[in-house]
Structures are given as C-alpha cells and as structure tokens.
C-alpha cells in the first residue's frame, strides 16, 4: 500500500442545503491553496464545482463535482455535492467514499432544520463532519441562536472551534478556541494575530468551557484536569479533537464568509490536523481485507461528451495501475478530476479518489476488484421515486433509441427509474422532483439527441360492476361462402368482492357447447374485460358460461370467442358499471412542528388519515399514515416540501381499489380520451 498517499491525502465532501454557498466555498478552498488563480462565481457559471452544463444553466449543482488541490504537502480531493433535496442521492453516494464532510449552512436559525436529514445520514454512517457557518456577513446574526438551533438537529454534540469577532454586522476575525489567540481577517490574505478582545472574554470563556466539557465526555484524563482546574495543554486538546472527530463523536463548528475567503484557512488547518486519514476511514469501513488487494467502489458515473464513460471511484486498498482489469473489465485510463478537466495518471493508491474510463457495465455503488470474490462494502440506500412524468420522443423514429439512452441515464443517476405501464402503455420516468426530471430530460436531449414531449402520467383507473345479470345472450353468425362461422352462448355475470380479480367457470351439460370451444369463450370474455364500456380494464367480475348451441360444420373456437365478446358487450352495461381508482397507502415523515399542516394537506387531497406517531430514532419528527387516491399524488411531493422547508418525505405503496365519487367520476369520464370501449359499442 502506498504509505505516502495514505498519510498525505484527505477526501472531503462539501455538503449542505441549497444556496448555503458550498460551490463558493470550494472555489475559495482551491484559490487559497493555489489550485486556481482566479475564483469563478455560480452566477457567472464559471466555477469548478458546477462544471456540468445543466448546473450552469440553472445556477445550482445538480451532480457531484470533484476537484484536487494540495495544502502543506497534503493532497485534498474535494467533492462538491448538490444542495437541492431532489439530488440528495448524489450526495449520499459520494459520502460513502470520503474521510470527512464539511456541512455548510447559513446563520439563519429558521433554516437550520433543513440540515436534520443530512446530520442523520452522517451520524448513522459515522462519517466525521465539521460545520462551516457561511455568510456571516448577513444582517441580524445571533451566533448563540444559530449554535443552539444546530445542536437541536444533531445527535452528536457540537463544539465551537472558533468564536467569531463581529464589528456591527461584519465578521472581522475570530478567536481560536484551542489556543485562545485572536485573529483579524484581511481580504485576499491570511488572518493576522491581534490582542484578545476584552469585550468578548466572558462569552469566549463560556463557549470554550462548553467545548472542553464536551471533549472530556470521551477523555477521562481531560475530565480530571477540568475538575482540578488545570488548564489542559493545546496538544492534548488537539489530540482529543482529532480522536473524537475521527470517531464521529463531536462536530466542530467554524464561522466564515467563503466569498471573501474568511475562515477558509482555519478550516483547512482543521482538516489537515484533525480530520481522519484515509487509512483510518478504511479500517472503519473494511474488515478482513488483504492489504494489497486492489479494491475500489464507484461513487459516481459520468457520461462525458469528450471522454465517454467515467467512473469516479474511491480506492480502498491496494493500487490501481494503468490498464488494470477490475471485475473482468480493463480500465481505459486513470484520471484525477478538476471539474470537467482530466489529468491522466499512471496509478492511484489506497485512499485516493480518481476516475476510471470505459468501465462498461459498471454502475454507481459497484465494488471493483481484481479478485472474483470481492468483499461487500456498504452502499447508500436507494431513494424511492416520488415524482413522475410520462415521456414520448418528439420523433417517432427515436423510440428504438430510448431504452439504451435511459439505461445510461440511470447509470449516471441511480435515483431515476422508468417503467412502461401495463395499463396505460405510457413510458414513465420517475425521479425525486420536477427539477430532477427536467435535468434528466435535458441530458436526453443534449447527450443523446432525444428531445421528449411530456405530460403527467394517466391514473390507471379500473372499472367494475355493481349488480349481477343472468343469461346474457351472445350469438355470432357469419356466412361468406364455404364454411361459415357460428357461436352461441349464454353468460351469467356477477360482481366479486374488491380485490378478487376475475373468475371464469362453466356449467355446461349435455355438450351444448363442445369442450374444445370453451377456452375460446373465456378468451373472448377476457379480451372484452381489458377495455370496458367506461374505457378502462374491468376487474372483480365472475362470468359463468351456462348454455349455448353450436353448428357441426360452422362452429369454431374463434366464433365462440366472438360470441362471448358480444354477450359481454350487452351484459356489462346492464350490470351498472362503475369507476374505480387506485388507493395508495402513504407514510409521510415530517418535523413535528409541521404535522398539523401535513394532516391538512392529506385531508385536502381526499386522504383518509390512519394515524400518526413519533418517528423512530428521529427526535422531534412524526410519521403520518394515510390512504390517498393515486390521482391526488401528482405534485404531492412539491406541496409537501413547500410546507416542510424541503425536508418532508413519504413512502408509498399500492393498497386497494375504491369507487370514485360520482361527481369526480363524471369529470374523469368526460376527459378520458379512451372513453369508447373499443369493443364495437
């Protein structure tokens, strides 16, 4: 294993809510370390992190961006993760391969709640993380309120690593809580030491005491020193910070203004001194692994216009060399990424994050090894799709290319899914929200020359009957020279309990319908039920063949099939057909403060509330269970997120069919373009 790479590198994800300034922080980190000579801006669309066309068009990150730099002899690989909840799968996948994460947030108490799902993910996977409170040049900042709000959404204790020095509404410097040295910021230059501000002495002393007490919870020696009023040496405090951050026991908090580079260098110093080295992360993730066995995990898949397919991988052990064969596939090349720029390298050692080219058939999350029985590595849970659009190629001839293009799209973004619906026959693209699907459609158009038309998916309504009808007669007689066609049947039709589906039987006696023709009768019934008089499949119906007649020469299975269709065409309209809609069972998760709004949202969409209770392992969150018509699910996620600061989510599954209210059924049937039953009616 390459010891120099192991001890001289850090892999760090930059995560946080939309508009918190993650991409701006990455630009600042690259600038102060000399990786770039001039900073770009999100507004101008020239940042390293937002190098994808879809990101620049929207002035927001829509996929992870990777950049490399060096600082004091250590190689840093930063992964800039999207902040929008619609692209959180990208973030979760990337976090599985880093040594630490920087959680970027704004100093706005009311928005801190949006960090709760991210903190939960980091803590569940024991990923070490620091908090960088950005945009400290905002007006009306209350540092203590922000810290208190952050502590309320984190299961790990937060410890202030710095105490900000404010002059009015401006951040002018900070006090390092370890050394108690004060510093003053200068635009474009490192901060200078200054005398300790006496006006902040009491506040800083209180905050430092809280930091030391939090660290002492995991260090008995430090606890003894505090109890005996012994000032612990700086080396011991730094050692505790490194140990406890590395074990995800505490979360250090920093303050700054990334746009002005304020606070960026202290953050880098903390990553250098206190963040865990790659081998520490590997020891936590891997068990019983041969040290020299090449082992990597795919964190992200890209299809680039220039280089084709790229697989961003974390090398967990061994060494990847040019031309290496992993999972039976020869890597086309090894690259370090700087946004969309690629730097070719001959090898990558354990602890590095690099891109491999032309790994066909390899997907995000896959484990790559030179050995056939490669060990399993943990993968981020696949998010369930919550928003859908029906898609159709603008050019009919492009339909043959669609399946291949969508397969590549799903390799790039595993939080997408697609299906060809069995009832509506629509191609449906599923994702995490409206913007998410628009980005996917943009990629289909730009990368694969597949422009699409879209609409909301049709609701797969069904129909059934309310009353039985007996002895419905159907006769098919056709003469066209030579042998004719003759079939004659009598059917009893009755409704079945909801969910029973379809049942066919016969009570023929005396051979009035020969046995060889009875399958044709059932086939004719089934064909009719596929498209009933209201325009939808008919379910929960029992049909019994009770009588009939035949002709020795002219009868055939086909003739009896047509006779059965005619009988059904006559009988089903007499049986009071009614419209059914699919009802889903949904489980909505929301912060408790929004539960009442969620209940109103569900009720306003014809939902039936089944109950709610506190969410397991999520303090201050509720789970609301309800039945909701599928017709009311379209755009449900949009409104739910609007009500819950973007953090509400739901799980859904089909539960049962239910009659549509009469007035609504009238509107559905009036707008249904498939209203004719297609059975000759």
The CA distances from residue 35 to 29, 38, 98, in Å, are 8, 9, 20
195-240 pLDDT, tens digit per residue, is: 999 999 998 999 999 999 999 999 999 999 999 999 999 999 999 9
> Distance between CA atoms of 534 and 674, rounded to whole angstroms?
8
Picking from 205, 214, 110, the residue whose alpha carbon sits closest to that of residue 156 is: 214
Q: pLDDT tens-digit profile of 280-302?
A: 999 888 776 666 789 999 999 99
C-beta separation of 117 from 125 below 8 A: no
Per-residue model confidence (pLDDT) at position 423: 85
Q: What pLDDT is recorded for position 102?
A: 98
Encode pLDDT of 478-525 as tens digits: 877 667 899 999 999 999 999 999 999 999 998 999 999 999 999 999
Q: What is the DSSP letter of 549?
A: E
User: Exposed, middle or buried: residue 186 (CB in 10 Å: 0-12, 13-18, 19+)?
Assistant: middle
- Token pair of 409 as six digits: 């799209």
Query: Helix, strand, or coil here: 662?
Result: helix
Q: Give me the sheet containing 427-431, strands edge to edge.
A: 417-420, 427-431, 387-393, 452-455
| Cα separation, 166 vs 174, whole angstroms | 8
- What pLDDT score does 89 carry? 96
Residues of the chain with pLDDT under 50: 1-7, 674-681
* Residue 457 buriedness (CB in 10 A; 0-12 / 13-18 / 19+): buried
Residue 79 and residue 260 in contact, taking contact as beta carbons nearer than 8 Å: no
What phi and psi values does residue 492 have, to the nearest 5 degrees? -100, 130
Q: CA 259, 265, 270: angle at the middle one, nearest 5? A: 125
The pLDDT value given to residue 1: 32
The Cα–Cα gap between 424 and 511 comes to 40
Task: Copy the structure tokens of residue 297.
Answer: 């995990």
pLDDT of residue 2: 34
DSSP tag of 594: G
Structure tokens that stand for 143 in this block: 């540092």
In angstroms, the Cα distances linking 171 to 39, 175, 416, 600 are: 21, 12, 42, 43
Q: What is the pLDDT of residue 211?
A: 93
């Amino acid at each position: 294993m390459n010891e120099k790479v192991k001890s001289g590198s850090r892999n760090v994800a930059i995560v946080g809510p939309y508009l918190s300034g993650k991409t701006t922080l990455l630009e600042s980190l690259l600038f102060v370390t000399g990786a770039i000579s001039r900073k770009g801006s999100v507004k101008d669309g020239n940042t390293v992190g937002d190098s994808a066309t879809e990101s620049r068009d929207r002035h927001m990150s829509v996929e992870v961006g990777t950049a490399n730099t060096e600082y004091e002899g250590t190689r840093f690989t930063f992964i800039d993760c999207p902040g929008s909840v619609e692209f959180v799968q990208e973030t979760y996948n990337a976090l599985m391969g880093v040594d630490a994460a920087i959680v970027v947030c704004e100093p706005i108490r009311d928005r801190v709640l949006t960090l709760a799902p991210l903190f939960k993910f980091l803590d569940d996977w024991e990923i070490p993380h620091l908090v960088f409170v950005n945009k400290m040049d905002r007006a009306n900042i209350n540092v203590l309120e922000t810290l208190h709000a952050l502590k309320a959404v984190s299961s790990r204790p937060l410890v202030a690593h710095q105490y900000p020095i404010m002059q009015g509404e401006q951040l002018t410097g900070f006090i390092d809580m370890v050394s108690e040295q004060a510093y003053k910021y200068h635009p474009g230059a490192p901060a200078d030491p200054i005398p300790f501000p006496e006006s902040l002495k009491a506040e800083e002393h209180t905050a430092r005491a809280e930091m030391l007490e939090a660290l002492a919870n995991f260090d008995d020696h430090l606890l003894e020193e505090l109890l005996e009023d012994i000032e612990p040496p700086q080396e011991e405090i730094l050692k505790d910070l490194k140990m406890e951050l590395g074990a995800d026991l505490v979360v250090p908090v920093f303050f700054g203004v990334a746009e002005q580079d304020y606070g960026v260098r202290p953050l880098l110093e903390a990553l250098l001194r206190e963040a865990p080295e790659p081998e520490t992360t590997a020891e936590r993730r891997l068990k019983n692994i041969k040290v020299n066995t090449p082992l990597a995990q795919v964190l992200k898949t890209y299809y680039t216009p220039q280089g084709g397919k790229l697989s961003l991988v974390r090398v967990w052990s061994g060494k990847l060399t040019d031309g290496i064969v992993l999972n039976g596939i020869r890597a086309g090349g090894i690259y370090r990424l700087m946004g969309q720029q690629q730097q070719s390298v001959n090898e990558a050692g354990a602890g590095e994050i690099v891109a491999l080219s032309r790994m066909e058939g390899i997907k995000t999350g896959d484990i790559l090894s030179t050995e056939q029985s490669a060990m399993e590595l943990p993968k981020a849970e696949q998010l369930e799709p919550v928003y859908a659009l029906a898609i159709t190629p603008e050019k009919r001839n492009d339909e043959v290319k669609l399946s291949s293009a969508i397969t590549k799209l799903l390799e790039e973004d595993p939080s997408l899914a697609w299906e060809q619906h069995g009832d509506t026959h629509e191609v449906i693209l599923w994702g995490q929200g409206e913007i998410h699907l628009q980005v996917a459609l943009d990629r289909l158009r730009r990368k694969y020359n597949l422009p699409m038309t879209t609409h909301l998916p049709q609701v797969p309504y069904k129909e059934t009957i309310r009353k039985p009808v007996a002895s419905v007669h159907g006769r098919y007689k056709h003469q066209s020279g030579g042998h004719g066609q003759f079939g004659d049947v009598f059917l009893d039709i009755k409704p079945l309990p909801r969910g029973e589906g379809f049942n066919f039987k016969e009570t023929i006696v005396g051979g009035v319908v020969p046995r060889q023709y009875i399958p044709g009768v059932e086939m004719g019934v089934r064909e009719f039920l596929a498209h009933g008089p209201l325009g939808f499949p008919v379910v929960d119906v029992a049909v019994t063949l009770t009588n009939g007649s035949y002709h020795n020469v002219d009868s055939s299975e086909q003739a009896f099939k047509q006779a059965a269709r005619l009988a059904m065409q006559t009988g089903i309209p007499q049986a009071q057909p009614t419209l059914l809609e699919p009802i889903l069972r949904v489980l909505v998760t929301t912060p408790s403060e929004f539960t009442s709004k969620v209940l109103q949202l569900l009720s306003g969409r014809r939902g039936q509330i089944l109950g709610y209770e506190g969410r397991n392992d999520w303090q201050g969150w509720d789970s609301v269970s309800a039945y909701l018509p599928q017709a009311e699910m379209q755009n449900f996620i949009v409104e739910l997120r609007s009500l819950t600061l973007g953090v509400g989510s739901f799980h859904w599954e089909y539960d049962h069919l239910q009659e549509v209210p009469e007035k609504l059924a009238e509107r559905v049937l009036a707008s249904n373009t498939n209203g004719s039953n297609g059975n000759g009616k």
